[in-house]
């Protein structure tokens, strides 16, 4: 082997190593942090341990035209070196007008209100979690 070939190989190895290291910082096996889409009411972190502060704001007053929509976002999640963990909740009206079903962490649920009024709701899994929507014209 000639000496110039060894130098070229070493230089090539160093360049290849630099590319791999630089690329490695962009591509990793760690889970990306979820983000929560735009929403009006947040299900807060550790919501199941709270009562009327499980939803923020706990009373949401909104002026909606006919057919206006309110969106809840489940912000009850944390991220760490082992991925994401969180708690599933529901947004269920006390008078059975709507039921979101399970809303997974970092997901949203929307309900369209056809009428004005005051609407109390809770989480089916954690009945101590309560909130109120006031729909005004």
Contact yes or no for 47/54 (Cβ under 8 A) = yes
Q: How far is the first Cα of the chain from the last one, in angstroms, to the nearest whole number?
A: 86
pLDDT of residue 86: 93
Rounded CA gap, 68 and 125, in Å?
27
Mean pLDDT, range 48-60, rounded to an integer: 94
CA 91 to chain centre: 15
Give Rg (Cα) of the chain.
Answer: 25
Q: Which residues of 85-94 are buried (b: 16+ CB within 10 A; e: fewer)?
A: ebbbbbbbee
pLDDT of residue 8: 41
User: Each residue of 72-82: pLDDT tens digit?
Assistant: 999 999 876 66
> pTM for the complete prediction?
0.72
CATH class of 41-136: mainly beta
Name, in order, each residue with C-beta under 8 angstroms of 120's C-beta and a sequence gap of 6 or more. Answer: 93, 94, 95, 130, 131, 132
Domain map of the chain by residue range?
1-30, 41-136
How open is the CA angle 102-107-112, to the nearest 5 degrees? 75
Instruction: Evaluate if residue 32 carries a pLDDT over 90.
Output: no
What is the band of 66 on the pLDDT scale with cuts at 50, 70, 90? low
Q: Which residues pair with 68 in a beta bridge?
A: 113
């Amino acid at each position: 082997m000639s000496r110039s070939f060894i130098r070229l190989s070493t230089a090539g190895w160093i360049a290849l190593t630099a590319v791999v290291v630089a690329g490695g910082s962009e591509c990793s096996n760690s889970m990306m942090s979820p983000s929560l889409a735009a929403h009006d009411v947040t299900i807060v972190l550790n919501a199941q341990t709270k009562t009327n502060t499980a939803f923020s704001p706990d009373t949401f007053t909104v002026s909606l035209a006919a057919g206006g929509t309110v969106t809840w976002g489940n912000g009850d999640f944390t991220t760490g070196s082992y991925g994401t963990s969180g708690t599933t909740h529901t947004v269920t009206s006390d008078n059975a007008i709507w039921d979101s079903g399970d809303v997974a962490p970092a997901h949203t649920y929307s309900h369209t209100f056809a009428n004005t009024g005051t609407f109390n709701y809770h989480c089916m899994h954690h009945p101590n979690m309560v909130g109120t929507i006031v729909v005004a014209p």
